[in-house]
A and B are shown apart, each in its own frame.
Chain A
Amino acid sequence: MSIWEYANPKKFMQTSAWALPWFTGLAVVTLLTGLIWGFFFTPEAANFGTTVKIIYIHVPSAMMAINVWAMMLVTSLIWLIRRHHVSALAAKAAAPIGLVMTLIALFTGAIWGQPMWGTWWEWDPRLTSFLILGLFYLGYLALWAAIDNPDTAADLTGVLCLVGSVFALLSRYAVNFWNQGLHQAASLSVDAEENVSDVYWYPLLLCMAGFVLLFIVLVLIRTRTEVRSRRLQALEARERLA
């Protein structure tokens, strides 16, 4: 099995049709378990009260917001180098999901920040760089929407994704330099000495896995839709010629 097989849309449609129900079921089970465990069966944290429960949505969505862009970067590269059509469509399919994840992270962060920091919004490096990431998603989506020819659109958005990745990273470190943060430091790093307590860690881990699965499901559905709409376009074009 290699990803090059799935450059054939028929093969991709077959395999994804088989895989989709499994991933959907798995995503539902993991997310439900993780969220219910997190919301109802974890103690309230000493300093934060009930608001601590927002992390079960905030952290996974923030993680996905970044990883979706990384996935788009990889799929764009595969498209640009090897003309893997399904890969280009997967990048297109992933972008709106990434944007929504960014917005979820920003909004849940604001809801948490209001009682905890006393402000909805602060020009903190993490918050600011997420806002900028959101802008990159918007530009990427707008460019896809603006160009009619699908191959040209895939090429140009691919190039934008490459350049955008560099500048999104650069902006991340630039805003770090520009303003000192209010956001707490990472407490989930694998290499850190002191991490978040296990009581919160296990349900959070489940939620993160659930978000990854949810993303896979959504990307598969959206990519299948894209493949179908390309087929429709081809059919219509053939009909016009006939």
Chain B
Amino acid sequence: MIALLVRDLRLAVRAGGGFGLSLAFFLIVTVLVPFGVGPEGGTLARIAPGILWVGALLACLLSLDRIFALDFEDGSLDLIATAPIPMEAVVTMKALAHWLTTGLPLVLAAPVFGVLLHLPGPAYFWLVVSLALGTPALSVLGAFGAALTVGLKRGGLLLSLLVLPLYVPTLIFGAELIGRGAEGSSTATPLMMLAGITAATVALVPFAAAAAIRINLR
């Protein structure tokens, strides 16, 4: 399992394109929004939590089709499937590798992008907390979507249609957490809900994703 994780991380870093790309995409989304809504600080500060979350979501989506597609094409997914580790573990490791290469950089870079959007002071802590708690769920759900569409030639658009509705609860509670943090009101409810959704997703969705992979490899 560790070997698989290390392999995926190496592939992501050395093959290029995957690692920095979603971060750059996140940056571009953040830069484009002020052009769209105007540079007034008040407006930007109010919509900043939503923009940062939607940006993170789209950046995450961008690299999803790589999770299984490349391995499926060159046949290494068949080999991994016959290896003596359960498919659920494979999916979890793949999702973890995806999170380490896209989710984690987003979490670390988000405060910088928050400055660009005039995010109010107390919200920075909650921005990092909510992205750190929420993005693992995005990666695991994305792995599920990628597992469903792995056998398809042009699965990219379909993948986003399948995955984005699944992101709704995470997005709602994630953005709400930052919003409440910015106002200084109680953050306990969205924090618990966000953490709960992520925990349940990480625990249960790999089983569905593994089932989908098995069907696709049949």
Give A residues with C-beta under 8 Å from B. 132, 135-136, 138-139, 142-143, 146-147, 152, 155-156, 159-160, 162-164, 167-168, 170-171, 174-175, 177-178
Q: How many residues of B contact A (CB 8 A)?
A: 28
Q: Could you tell me if B218 and A152 are in contact, using CB atoms closer than 8 angstroms?
A: yes
Cβ of B215 within 8 Å of any chain A Cβ, yes or no, is yes
**A residues less than 8 Å from B104 (CB atoms):** none
Q: Could you tell me if B158 and A143 are in contact, using CB atoms closer than 8 angstroms?
A: yes
A interface, over-half SS: helix
Question: Given the complex of chains A and B, what is the CA–CA distance between A168 and B161 in angstroms?
Answer: 14
Other than A138-B161, A171-B169, give 17 A-B pairs with Cβ distance below 8 A.
A135-B161, A136-B165, A139-B158, A139-B165, A143-B148, A143-B149, A146-B152, A152-B218, A156-B212, A159-B215, A160-B162, A164-B166, A171-B172, A174-B169, A175-B168, A177-B189, A177-B190
Q: Which of A142, A164, A167 contacts B158 (CB 8 A)?
A: A142
Question: Given the complex of chains A and B, what is the CA–CA distance between A233 and B156 in angstroms?
Answer: 28
23 sampled A-B residue pairs with Cβ under 8 A: A132-B165, A135-B161, A135-B164, A139-B165, A142-B161, A143-B148, A146-B152, A152-B151, A156-B215, A156-B216, A162-B208, A163-B205, A163-B208, A164-B165, A164-B166, A170-B169, A171-B165, A171-B168, A171-B169, A174-B168, A175-B168, A177-B173, A177-B193
Q: Could you tell me if B216 and A152 are in contact, using CB atoms closer than 8 angstroms?
A: yes
By beta carbon, the residue of chain B nearest A160 is: B148
**B residues less than 8 Å from A143 (CB atoms):** 148-149, 158, 162
Question: Given the complex of chains A and B, what is the CA–CA distance between A174 and B189 in angstroms?
Answer: 11
Question: Given the complex of chains A and B, what is the CA–CA distance between A155 and B218 in angstroms?
Answer: 11
Which 4 pairs of residues, A with B, have the shortest CB-CB distance?
A174-B169, A135-B165, A155-B215, A171-B168
Of residues 159 through 199 on chain B, the ones whose CB sits less than 8 Å from some CB of chain A are 161-162, 164-166, 168-169, 172-173, 176, 189-190, 193, 197
